[in-house]
A and B are shown apart, each in its own frame.
Chain A
Amino acid sequence: MQWLDGLVQGVLLGGLYAQYALGMALMFGVMRVVNITHGDLMILLALVGISLASTFSLGPWSVLVVLVALGGIIGIILQRLILNRVVGADPLPSLIATFGLSIALQNAMLQVWSADTRSLPSDGLAQASFQLGPLFVGVLPVIVLITATVLTAALAATMQYTRFGRSLRAAAADVEAAAMTGIDPKAVYAGATALAVGILGFAAVFQSMRSTVSPADGAFQLIYAFEAVIIGGMGSIWGAFIGAMVLGISQSIGFRIDPGFGILAGHLVFLTILALRPQGILGKG
């Protein structure tokens, strides 16, 4: 029974990881860029949300709306100020620039919010649970999983059916050819980054409701997002979702084997997949 419980909890944890991983898969697919501040931006949004909630006594859902909008704006600024200057075939400039920004951001957050762990008051939502057969399932994790599924489906549909999605895919396939057909790469890039950081607004609210955040946590979220993307298959939106599930389940089962083994189990599953199926679960070739 504890294994079944571990599986269910793992899928629910995967819902949170999927919200980290979607934006990373999108940005890498379109720009071949990995934004090292990905996790730090999530933490920044979460801390801003917690401060907003306590200052203006906002409920979690109002905070969510504010953070998603704020995430979009931060994404556009990040793209305009930094990423546009470093996009290119050479991975080094974008890595180094976002790496430096990540150090600066973490320490700036440390100055503003101190190293304390904080969480977002959830009006009792984080404690609520219901019984499903022999298992107790939390209400909040189920909401997180549903949100993640809807976000993934919406993002996949946007990529598939809308004009913006077509331009994203065109830029991903060959940016110069896309530019020749009248697509403005900078606008497409800004759109992709705004979407990626906007989705982190969801992740920020849920992460700070279900547990705590502190300024130094970002690096771990970056690694989980990365592992989910690679497990699922680079460049695939549903791949990132499935990868997040695999990672969540691995950590959850590992944690039940030994509490010190949870995170490590996730890393080991990642390395095993990298050794046996480097293109990822949904990857081609």
Chain B
Amino acid sequence: MDFPPVRVQRQTLSGVVAMGLGVVALIAIASMPFWASQGLIRDVVELCCYIAVAQMWNLLAGYAGLVSVGQQAFIGVSAYMMFVMAQLWGINPFIAVVLAMIAPALLAIPTYGLLHRLDGPYFAIGTWVIAEVLRLGTSVFGYVNGGAGMSLRVMTGYSPMERAIGVSLLCALMLLVTVGGSYWLLRSRYGLALIAMRDNPVAAASQGVNVGRLRFLIWVAAAVGTGLAGAIYFMAQLRITPPSAYDPSWANIAIFIVMVGGLGSLEGVLIGALIYFFAERWFGEYGATYMVVLGLLTVFMALFARGGLWGLICKVVDAPWFPTRRRLMEDPT
């Protein structure tokens, strides 16, 4: 039998354009101290942390089928590790941010061992218990000053310019690792397995995907990515307390961004994060009413528009920013 000559098309024009824009954005973020005001840098750092935390949650819920409402456990534990390394052990704080990633990784291993025994929805509440245990445990742990929290006084040894350069470079690194890393992962061999697992874990397992091991690896990777955002966020805050470090609103933010933007897509996270960031600035003053609307919007998306805004956009135009599909093209002969 003769097969027509075919080739696999993996990149699209929109993907090339988006890649170019992405590189420009990364360079712009890394060079912020040379063109942006202090206030703008602070805002961009916050937005980048939202994107990173939401993308890690997206990887878990959108691909690995692991719904977590306790990602603040990894935020807090790595932020505290960074404070301990920098403030108590005298390590350079910018290096401590990277070294502190050992803490969420080490925490992720036993928590997965415990929680993977729980059935779907119970897994989610189990993650919340872990975060609560860490919050309560940190509050009575004298070494990190218990409930009173810590200040990052070592940062006074650096000039504002040095701090801005450090934070901006770390932010660019964080986006490269979380968004770029996810993109790379989804285009790799593992990406095929992940997408198969997202669509149907049983069928994926029957095709030779080691679902259990892949879930575990994604869980640890997401813990580290979330932790990196936590360490950078609290480095910018300069102060940490157990209730702020293990704040459940991190889970709210991640869930809102991903559900509104679009579950299971990288584009959705960027859209959702921008919406959340501006909604908070424009409507945050309405406090509780704003939160009611946010909550109801999440309910609405879960009930009626599970693909989020990106899912709706995809129905109209097919121009992915991060193409992960493999398309079989027939060459004309």
A residues touching B (Cβ–Cβ < 8 Å)? 28, 32-34, 36, 82, 85-86, 90-97, 99-108, 110-111, 219, 222-223, 226-227, 229-230, 234, 258, 260-261, 263-264, 267-268, 270-271, 274-275, 278
Contacts and interface: CB of A to CB of B under 8 A. Distances in A.
Interface string B88-121: 0000000000000000000000000011011111
21 contacts: A36-B69, A82-B299, A90-B65, A91-B119, A92-B61, A93-B303, A95-B121, A99-B255, A99-B298, A100-B256, A101-B299, A102-B295, A104-B296, A107-B292, A223-B128, A260-B140, A263-B132, A264-B133, A267-B129, A267-B136, A278-B118
Contact of A104 (B69, B117, B129, B291): B291
Which among A34, A92, A261, A271 has the greatest number of chain B C-beta atoms within 10 A?
A92
B178 to A, nearest CB: 21
Interface string B300-321: 1111001000000000000000
Given A96-B255, A274-B117, A275-B114, A28 B302 contact: no
A274 B112 CA distance: 12
B73 to A, nearest CB: 12
B84 interface: no
A276 to B, nearest CB: 11
Given A227-B129, A271-B114, A107 B291 contact: yes
Contacts of B256: 100
B146 to A, nearest CB: 9
A260 B69 contact: no
A267 B136 CA distance: 10
A86 B248 CA distance: 24
Contacts of B132: 223, 263, 267
Interface of B: 61, 65, 67, 69, 114-115, 117-126, 128-129, 132-133, 136-137, 139-140, 248, 252, 255-256, 259, 263, 288-289, 291-303, 306
A230 B125 CA distance: 11
Contacts of B120: 32, 90-91
Contacts of A32: 119-121
Contacts of B288: 107-108, 110-111
Contacts of A219: 128, 248
Contact of B125 (A90, A223, A271): A223
A271 to B, nearest CB: 6
Given A100-B302, A102-B295, 6 more contacts: A91-B120, A96-B259, A96-B302, A230-B118, A260-B140, A263-B136
Given A92-B67, A230-B118, A222 B303 contact: no
B298 to A, nearest CB: 3
Contact of B292 (A28, A104, A230, A261): A104
B143 to A, nearest CB: 15
A86 B302 contact: yes
Contacts of A258: 140
Contacts of A97: 298-299, 302-303
Contact of A264 (B128, B137, B301): B137
A100 B129 contact: no
Contact of B129 (A226, A234, A260): A226
A100 B297 contact: yes
B125 A226 contact: yes
A94 B121 contact: yes
Contacts of A278: 117-118
